[in-house]
Amino acid sequence: AGVSLAPIDFAVISATSNILHVTSSSLFAGGQLNVVQLFNQMQLVNGSGMLAVGDHIRSDLFIDKIVNIPIGRQIKVNCTCYSNDKPVAIVKCALVSLNNPASHDITFRNAFGLQFTLVYKSAAEVTVLETKAWFYYLDSTDIRLSPMAEVEFVIDSKYTFMSDSTYSSISTTGQVFLKRRHGNPVYTANVDFQWGEAAADPVVEYLKTDFVGMVLPGDKLNTKIQHVGMADGLMLVNSKTFNEQGDIVLKCSAEIEQPVTAYVFTGQGSQTVGMGMDLYAESEAARNVWDHADEHMQTKYGISILDIMHRNLKSLTLYFGGETGQSILANYMSLTCNSCDKSKKMVPLFPEITADSESFTFSAPNGLLNATQFTQVALVIFSIASVADMQSKQLIQKEAVFAGHSLGEYCALATLTDIFTLEDVIDIVFYCGLVMQSAVEHDYLGNLQYGMVAVNLS
C-alpha cells in the first residue's frame, strides 16, 4: 500500500507548542497581550523528505537571544523539528514583549555558525593573523597558512550584556579551514577568545575587514576615511587604503563612539517669528511634529499655533458656534486655578467665558507669539521638532545627557524622554502660560505694568 503523506505544517505545529510555553513564561511578564511577533521562518532540512501519516513528531527549542530594543524585550527562539527522531525542519521566531525591557543580568545573544572566507594575499597579512592572541594552530598538524591562502572561519559567539550597548562577557570560538582547489578544506587551526567588558567582539570585527589587494614590503600607502552617516550618535565611517598605483588594498568600516553630548534647553524669551519654519520645510520628522501639534491646538483650543508662528497676530477671536465651537468653549470653561488673593479658592481661568459666550478674543500688543501662553507652546513644539529631526538622522546618542532651565525643563523632558506625549506637554505648558498670564493684571489690550529682562552682571 502507498504511503499517505502529511503536510509539513505539523512540524510547525510542534514548534508552536514549544514557543507558546515560552510566551507564557516569566520571560513575558508583561502579559501575552503585549507580545508582538517580528517574524516567523521555516527552513526544511536538506534530504529530510516528506512527513507521513503515523510519523512521530517532536521539536526541541532553544532561546537564541534576549536583548533590549527601543520598543521592549526581544526574544529569538530556534526550534528543530524531528520526524521519527530525524530533523526535518528548523523554525525561527522573534517575539517582542512591548514596553517590558529585560534586566541586563538575563540578556544575552548567541551567534552560531558564522562563516567568513578571507584570502591572505601576502606573508604580512598571514603574520598579522598568526600574531592574534585568539588564533591557535593545531598541534596535530604542521600545515601553516601561506600567501594567497583562502581561509574559511566557522565561528560560534556567545555574548552577555551589562548595558544595551556594552557586553559584560564575550566567548568566541571556532575552527579555521584551509580551502583547496581540489578536495575538502583542511582543518588547520582554532579560534578561542574569552573577554569581559567590551563594546565589540574583536574577532568578528577583524573577520569583517575586507582585504582587497596585495601589500608588498616598502609600499607607500594612502588611507582615506569618509564620514558616511550616523547611528544612535555613533559616527559611521568608511575607509579605503590605496597603494602608489592607486589600487585599493584595504576597505573597512567602523562605528566610532563620540564624546557624550549634553543638550541644554533655554527658557522663555528666545522666541522669534518664523522660528523652526525652515526645518518645517526641509524635514518630514519636524513637519510631522508641527502639524500634529497644530491639529491638537485647533481641535482643543481653536487656535492655529502655525498661524501665530508665521504672522504673530496681535489679536485672535475664537467663535464658539456649532458642535466644534461648543466643544472648544467647554474646554476653556473647564480651566481653573487658585485665586491670587488670600482665599486661594479655585476660580475660572476665563471668568469672562460662560455657557452663553459666542466668542473670545486673545490680544497682545507685541503679538501673540510674545504672550506667555503661546510663547511656551511655540518653544516646546520648536524643541520637540528640532530633536525629532536629529533623531530621524540618528544623531542623538543613547547616553546623551540633557537639562533645561524654566520652560526648558519641559522641553528637555518632552524631547529626550517618554514622560510626556506631545498632546500632554502642549496642554501643560499652555495651561502654565495661561496661569502666569492671569497672575499679573493687564488691561483689555493685554498691556502689563511689568516686564522681564535678563541682565549680565559681568
Task: Round to whole Å and give the CA distance between 333 and 339.
Answer: 16
Q: Does residue 456 lie in a domain region?
A: no
CATH of the domain at 9: 3.10.129.10
Task: Round to whole Å and give the CA distance between 224 and 237.
Answer: 10
Instruction: Give the SS3 label for residue 426.
Output: helix
Task: Round to whole Å and give the CA distance between 197 and 324.
Answer: 59
Torsion angle defined by CA atoms of residues 60, 65, 69 and 72, in that order, rounded to the nearest 10 degrees: 50
Residue 385 shares a structural domain with residue 422: yes
Q: How many residues does the chain have?
A: 458
Residue 337 shares a structural domain with residue 317: yes
Q: Which three cell numbers stand for residue 106?
A: 538575563
What pLDDT, on the 0 to 100 scale, is given for residue 282? 95
Residue 228 shares a structural domain with residue 307: no
Residue 279 shares a structural domain with residue 300: yes
Task: Round to whole Å and give the CA distance between 394 and 371.
Answer: 35
**Which of 102, 118, 140 represents a domain boundary (last residue)?**
102
Per-residue pLDDT of the chain (458 residues; tens, 9 = 90+): 467 888 888 888 888 888 888 888 888 876 777 888 887 788 888 777 788 888 898 999 999 999 999 888 999 999 999 989 899 888 888 888 888 889 999 999 999 988 998 888 888 889 989 999 899 999 998 999 998 888 999 999 999 999 988 899 999 999 999 998 778 899 999 999 999 888 888 888 888 765 555 667 788 999 999 988 887 888 888 888 998 888 887 777 777 878 889 999 988 888 999 999 999 999 999 999 999 999 999 999 999 999 999 999 999 999 999 999 999 999 999 999 988 777 788 899 999 999 999 999 999 889 999 999 999 999 999 999 999 999 988 899 888 899 999 999 999 999 999 899 999 999 999 999 999 887 777 666 666 677 767 777 87
Q: Give the residue carrying C-alpha cell 496661569.
A: 435
Task: Round to whole Å and give the CA distance between 433 and 362.
Answer: 13
Residue 92 shares a structural domain with residue 109: no
Total tally of structural domains belonging to the chain: 4
**Which of 84, 102, 120 represents a domain boundary (last residue)?**
102
Residue 244 shares a structural domain with residue 170: no
- Give all strands (DSSP E) within 206-358, no chain letters: 210-211, 222-231, 234-242, 248-256, 262-265, 315-319, 336-338, 346-348
Choose among 59, 73, 60, 57: nearest CA to 23: 73
**Which of 188, 208, 228 represents a domain boundary (last residue)?**
208
Residue 66 shares a structural domain with residue 143: no
Residue 36 shares a structural domain with residue 93: yes
Residue 154 shares a structural domain with residue 285: no
Residue 166 shares a structural domain with residue 291: no
CA atoms within 13 A on the CB side of 368: 24
Residue 171 shares a structural domain with residue 274: no
The pTM is what? 0.54
Q: Does residue 454 lie in a domain region?
A: no
Largest CA distance in the chain: 103
Pairing of strands 35-44, 57-69: unpaired
Residues 6+ apart with CB under 8 A from 367: 273, 308, 312, 313, 314
Given a contact cutoff of 8 angstroms between Cβ atoms, the answer to whether 276 and 385 are in contact is yes
Residue 70, phi then psi, degrees to nearest 5:
-55, -30
Range of the domain at 155: 104-208
